[in-house]
Amino acid sequence: MGAPMGIGGAVVLLILSLIFGRNFTGPSEQTQQQTQGGQIAESPEEAKEAELVAWVLDTAQATWARIEPEELGAPWHDAKLVLFRDATPTGCGVGQTAMGPFYCPLDQKIYIDLGFYDELQRRFGAPGDFAQAYVLAHELGHHVQHLTGIDARVRRFQQMNPDQANKASVLLELQADCYAGVWGYYAQQAGVLEAGDIEEGLNAAAAVGDDRIQRRTQGSVNADTFTHGTSEQRATWFLRGFQSGDARKCDTFAAASQQ
């Protein structure tokens, strides 16, 4: 996946601006970079990653601004992205590196530690820029769920049915994976994907499956404690979104009720 750079990249950005109806040629206003002490200094590698995630965020939000009102019947407004190191205050409490990337519905921001993408490659075995894009697109999927009220309904269900809380969490996360795939579909239609990008996304989705993480960290797997879904489930739902490009086909809750 080529995040546009250089002279040729500037042409691509201009074309994408025309396709998505949003200016991608200037700096993103949706991204903040901070630590507990305020602004941070970036390394060259972090600057490159920040440019990639800002571009992915802009294209993904432009996509959802077009399709969410039509397909999901909800108005759209942008989320914001906060890149941080070590820890940062959020509307949901203190965000820390160990938490991994997350979306806070209370302030409608996505938080990603600057060192996470290195961990994604080194610890989880999921290299590649589209793997990084998948992570951000997944978190933006939670913003879609928030705007449509899905996350609030799930929280109420979990409070009323604590024994089903983990299963509901899995369905919520798998739907966010599917929404990430929907963005991938439109990115492909816009001609910005490269050979091997979807494989990187599928690999990333599988790498963060509960079963794979538990097997690596605990040496065993306990399905009752899953919160995000198995590697197979996560890759399957991402692929469903990517192949269909239809957010309405991401109803994991209806699919579960039919099993």
Please tell me which residue, 151 or 198, carries the higher pLDDT value.
151
Q: Classify each residue of 192-217 as buried b or exposed e, where b means 16 or more C-beta atoms within 10 Å of its C-beta.
A: bbeeebbebbbbbbbbbbbbbbbeee
Q: What is the pLDDT of residue 33?
A: 53
Q: What is the pLDDT of residue 241?
A: 97
**pLDDT tens-digit series, residues 133-153:** 888 999 999 999 999 999 999
Under the banding of pLDDT at 50, 70 and 90, the label for residue 251 is very high
Provide the phi-psi class of 177: left if phi over 0, else alpha when psi is between -120 and 50, else beta.
alpha
Closest CA to 69 of 139, 147, 153: 147
223: its two tokens: 């399905």
**pLDDT tens-digit series, residues 200-243:** 888 888 888 888 888 888 888 888 889 899 999 999 999 999 99
Q: What is the pLDDT of residue 159?
A: 95
Mean pLDDT score of the chain: 82
pLDDT > 90? residue 55: no
**pLDDT tens-digit series, residues 10-29:** 333 333 343 344 444 444 55
Contact 242, 179 (CB under 8 A): no
Q: What is the DSSP letter of 112?
A: E
pLDDT > 90? residue 54: no
* CB contact set of 78 (below 8 Å; sequence gap of 6+): 30, 61, 65
Contact 205, 234 (CB under 8 A): yes
Is pTM beyond 0.85? Reply is no
Range in 1-15, 79-93, 107-121, 138-152 the model is least confident about: 1-15
